[in-house]
Chains A and B, each alone.
Chain A
Amino acid sequence: MKPLAQDPTLNDFGHDPWWIVLIKVVVVFAFLVVMTLFAIWYERRVVARMQVRPGPNRNGPFGLLQSLADGLKLAFKEDIMPKLADKAVFFIAPVISTVCAFTAFSIMPFGPVVSLFGHKTPLQLTDIPVAVLLVLACSGLGIYGVVLGGWASGSTYPLLGGLRSSAQMISYEVAMGLSIVAVFMTSGTMSTSGIVAAQAGSDTHWGPITAPSWYAILLLPSFVIYFVSAIGETNRAPFDLPEAESELVGGFHTEYSSLKFALFFLAEYINMVTVSALCTTLFLGGWRAPWPISLWAGANSGWWPMLWFTIKILLLLFVFVWLRGTLPRLRYDQFMRFGWKVLIPANLIWIVALSGIKTLQKSDWDGTKRTMVVVGVVILLLIVALVWPSKKEPEKLTVADQIAARPDGSFPLPPLDLVVPVNPRAKRITASREEPVTVGAPDDSTGPKEA
């Protein structure tokens, strides 16, 4: 499938009359605010579902208005300024966070060129040749809000949260930037609309099979590293060390209340939406419909793509929530080691490998030479794998061996053949039930019937 004529290019931007620009700005703003309200509800409902409880279900249908009510409540709460706070910086920190979060979304492509009140305009606020870098710049500046908020609070826990946040941001922005490099190399552009167009369909065919066009498949390592570092960038579980509630109370926003806290909250959720949208744009084909829907001719034209784009964002948000509901928080040194010693080296190796592949593809060598290069690389890898020092697996001991190996003075264990006497009260409780409840028994036949 060739890119369609309605695909916006860089030349399509910058020609809108001012009122269309204004409409787009307002729509992007409204989209982000509504997505935030929805994402909070969505997260609470999904986590609740995972923990077998209903979640917010009182205000509005399915509890949908819960976050709106919470937001209104936050706005009317008392605004507390700590005595030791640095007043100006304390005030400006949440503003920085929020402004950067909103700005980053200005280059997200929602869809193709559509007709808006008679004007042909792309469904995207703007695009620049270095659009993806704008998102990186905004996320880099957005961290200032967190760091300064922590510093200006004049209290220990927020300061620790801010410190962690700055270190975390420096480490994970490197991994994030490197993971995007592979996308730039493959698509040959940094503009978001260009990257979406580059994923529209590929010209490479291997016999009857067309090469996949989504960069999530073509550049799988980049996709995985991007998503992991995006979670680190947005301070989400399991990387939410700047606001680790079990160690730092609330982290950088401990001293914040009322509307300032609400701004931090808003910025965090917008950042989640932004990295999901960028992930969609860079790796998941942007606003283009996925395969079964794309068979329908009208799927990638008009206003429909906005729907596919939003659905993809919501799916990625689900993964965010899923991770939060599943994984415990990392210890700080593990987190840093993971970033610097796993993500970044893996990324560098992958980029070098990818450039090798690209060079091989572009070279005018014949088949034998190419095969020889590939075979040579494979042999080199095998040699490295052979020479690589292998880690000796500790041999597995049986339970009895482990007990025998315990030194004297260890905490005593109950005897292994211990028979726990039946609790005399347990009989009365189970006897009053119609069917005996077997807890922890594999099946009814072996479980205690009456005990």
Chain B
Amino acid sequence: MTSALHLVAAAAAAGEVTTGEKAVFFILAPIALIGAIGMVAARNAVHSALWLVLTMLSLGVFYIVQAGPFIGMVQIIVYTGAIMMLFLFVLMLVGRDASDAVIETLRGQQAWAIVLGVGFAGLLGTGLARVVGSLKVVGLEQANADGNVQGIAALLFTKYVWVFEISSALLITAAVGAMILAHVDRSLRDGTAVMSQPERMRARFEPGSYPGPKPGPGVFATSTSIATPAKLPDGTPAQRSISPILPTRELTAAEVANKQTEGR
């Protein structure tokens, strides 16, 4: 598959549309369109995200076919690999049953949206077709002269370095802003203090709360009765080894006394 793409890419660099490129376009364009429509039409948010992934993948292949292998791969890695994965992460946190409300809040909104959407697409499509249809494509060979990646790098670090830096600053600002806005002081929950993990760990081993299993009654004791407390390593009786509902039983003097049963 990829070697075919390689041929196609080589041909595209020469400035002609090959059969392979046409075939790829006519197979993937409907798929990309179905993905886009499916994204809007799907009720389930995760299904929407998956349809969008399909569209993005098709776009990535289009870029590769049009002699832009780097941008195609970056489209797949960054958009489908990272951004959509973040979307999915959030959607999954929200829960799998969350789906859009079917009730229309604005009456007739869906019908109007379809009419206007199709109209806009028609206008845009015809406009683009009129402009691009008779256009002769030039300059691809020069742009990719030293290789596609090298060409992009040269542009990014010379002509567009300022734009590139500004957009990265914008992204960082957005990320920091999102973190500040979404930050919740976690030391308090519902007004009560929440212990941090190290604090909880220390509390677990504090005197009086031994984290190990309780010794069973009768362990290392002189009797196997469940009323006999286990002995701790220093020999003291472990009171918590006995069930609290067991009554403490002490023998009366009469019970302790010799019953005189021998030699009858």
Q: Which residues of A contact B (CB under 8 A)?
A: 13-14, 16, 21, 86, 89, 106-107, 125-130, 133-134, 136-137, 140-141, 143-144, 147-148, 150-151, 154, 159, 162-163, 166-167, 169-170, 173, 177, 190, 333, 406-415
Contacts and interface: CB of A to CB of B under 8 A. Distances in A.
B73 A134 contact: yes
Nearest to A418: B233
Given A125-B2, A126-B3, A410-B207, 9 more contacts: A14-B7, A134-B73, A141-B80, A141-B81, A166-B85, A166-B86, A166-B92, A411-B210, A412-B236
B30 interface: no
A136 B89 contact: no
A333 B197 CA distance: 11
Given A129-B148, A140-B80, A89 B92 contact: no
B53 interface: yes
Contacts of B47: 89
Nearest to A407: B207
A270 to B, nearest CB: 17
Contacts of A141: 57, 76, 80-81
Most chain B Cβ neighbours within 10 Å, of A89, A129, A159, A413: A129
B76 A137 contact: yes
B73 A126 contact: no
B214 to A, nearest CB: 12
Contacts of B3: 13-14, 16, 21, 125-126
Nearest to B207: A409
Interface in B154-211: 197, 207-208, 210
A125 B5 CA distance: 13
B232 A412 contact: yes
Most chain B Cβ neighbours within 10 Å, of A21, A137, A141, A415: A137
B147 interface: yes
B180 to A, nearest CB: 18
The B contact surface, by secondary structure, is helix
A130 B144 CA distance: 13
A229 to B, nearest CB: 14
Given A129-B147, A173-B81, A159 B92 contact: yes
A128 B82 contact: no
Contacts of A134: 2, 73
Most chain B Cβ neighbours within 10 Å, of A86, A128, A136: A128
B91 to A, nearest CB: 8
Interface in B62-107: 69-70, 73-74, 76-77, 80-82, 85-86, 88-89, 92-93, 96
B234 interface: yes
Contacts of A411: 207, 210, 212, 232
Interface in B7-30: 7, 9-10
B77 A136 contact: yes
A151 B207 contact: no
A178 to B, nearest CB: 13
Given A89-B50, A166-B89, A128 B236 contact: no
8 contacts: A130-B70, A143-B81, A147-B92, A163-B93, A166-B92, A190-B149, A411-B212, A411-B232
A159 B1 CA distance: 34
Nearest 3 interchain pairs by C-beta: A140-B81, A409-B207, A133-B73
Nearest to B53: A144
Contacts of B210: 411
B76 A154 contact: no
Given A141-B81, A173-B82, A128 B7 contact: no
Nearest to A174: B82
Contacts of A127: 6
A129 B46 contact: no
A82 to B, nearest CB: 12
Contact of B77 (A129, A133, A144, A408): A133
A151 B6 contact: no
Contact of A130 (B81, B149, B232, B233): B149
Contacts of B9: 128
B49 to A, nearest CB: 10
Contacts of A154: 96
Contact of B6 (A128, A143, A170, A177): A128
A385 to B, nearest CB: 28
Given A14-B10, A141-B76, A409-B207, A147 B233 contact: no
Contact of A140 (B10, B76, B207, B234): B76
Contacts of B92: 147, 150-151, 159, 162-163, 166
A252 B232 CA distance: 44
B202 to A, nearest CB: 12
Nearest to A142: B81
Interface string B34-56: 00000000001011001001000
Contacts of B74: 133
A415 B77 CA distance: 63
Interface string B119-151: 000000000000000000000000000011100
Given A140-B81, A151-B92, A126 B236 contact: no
Given A126-B6, A136-B77, A137-B73, A413 B234 contact: yes
Contacts of B6: 13-14, 126-128
A184 to B, nearest CB: 9
Contacts of A169: 85
A167 B207 contact: no
Contact of B85 (A125, A137, A143, A408): A143
A159 B94 CA distance: 12
Contacts of B233: 412-414
B206 to A, nearest CB: 8
Given A107-B2, A130-B149, A412 B85 contact: no
A13 B149 CA distance: 18
B240 to A, nearest CB: 11
A248 B96 CA distance: 18
Contacts of B93: 163
A89 B46 contact: yes
Contacts of A137: 60, 73, 76-77, 80-81
B115 to A, nearest CB: 30
B82 A415 contact: no
Interface string B213-250: 00000000000000000001110100000000000000
A96 B76 CA distance: 14
